[in-house]
């Protein structure tokens, strides 16, 4: 049975609170394992590259991430290279801590499933290190750069009650339609 969760929109209180950490026992519980599977289905259905539990109304330090190759088809080889974007297999991050490995940042347009139809330029660190638990409660260290680092920063922000609009270059905020018309090929 396929279950797709409702993704909450900006203004929903769960998007602005700091999410609760999960113990290994809580993580391995049937309800949390089901939540992970439902979030996976919801992410793919959206489609998106990351989804935090707070985006489906659950204030838990948990996010699912996947950047599928099929999402890259509309980008040129040059755009993929500029963004440092490549396929990222499905995985779960739980109770993550984020370390910015480089002080340098890159600025690209970013969107969010909780702010559908909008985008803005957001500066993000080029490289990060994330310490977290995986879906089975095993410790994991993720070294990421480029677009993958951006996805991790975006999702971990969600777990801290921060949205990309808090970090965006305000004058770049745009509808996706106007971005496509005026900025996409610049």
Active site residue 155: yes
Spot the catalytic one: 103, 143, 155, 177. Answer: 155
Q: What is the pLDDT along the chain (186 residues), one digit of tens a residue?
A: 678 999 999 999 999 999 999 999 999 999 999 999 999 999 999 999 999 999 999 999 999 999 999 999 988 899 899 999 999 999 999 999 999 998 889 999 999 999 999 999 999 999 999 999 999 999 999 999 999 999 999 999 999 999 999 999 999 999 999 998 888 777
Instruction: Give bridge partners of residue 82 from the DSSP assignment.
Output: none
Report how far residue 6's alpha carbon sits from residue 183's, in angstroms, rounded to the nearest whole number. 30
- The CATH H-level (homologous superfamily) assignment of domain 13-182 is Peptide deformylase (3.90.45.10)
CB count in 10 Å sphere of residue 108: 18
Report how far residue 84's alpha carbon sits from residue 87's, in angstroms, rounded to the nearest whole number. 10
Beta-carbon contacts of 20 under 8 Å, excluding residues fewer than 6 positions away, are 59, 60, 61
Place of tokens 């940042």: 105
């Amino acid at each position: 049975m396929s279950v797709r969760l409702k993704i909450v929109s900006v203004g929903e209180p769960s998007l602005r609170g700091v999410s609760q950490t999960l113990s290994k026992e809580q993580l391995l519980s049937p309800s949390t394992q089901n939540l992970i599977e439902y979030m996976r289905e919801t992410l793919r259905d959206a489609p998106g590259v990351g989804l935090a539990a707070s985006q489906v109304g659950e204030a838990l330090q948990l996010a699912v991430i996947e950047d599928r190759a099929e999402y890259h088809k509309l980008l040129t080889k040059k755009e993929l290279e500029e963004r440092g974007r490549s396929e990222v297999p499905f995985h779960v991050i739980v109770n993550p801590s984020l370390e910015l490995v480089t002080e340098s940042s890159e600025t690209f347009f970013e969107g969010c499933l909780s702010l559908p139809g909008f985008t803005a330029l957001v500066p993000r660190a080029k490289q990060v290190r994330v310490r977290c638990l995986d879906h089975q409660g095993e410790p994991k260290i993720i070294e990421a750069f480029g677009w993958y680092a951006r996805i991790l920063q975006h999702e971990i922000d969600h777990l801290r009650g921060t949205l990309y609009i808090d970090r965006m270059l305000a004058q770049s905020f745009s509808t996706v339609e106007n971005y496509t018309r005026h900025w996409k090929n610049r």
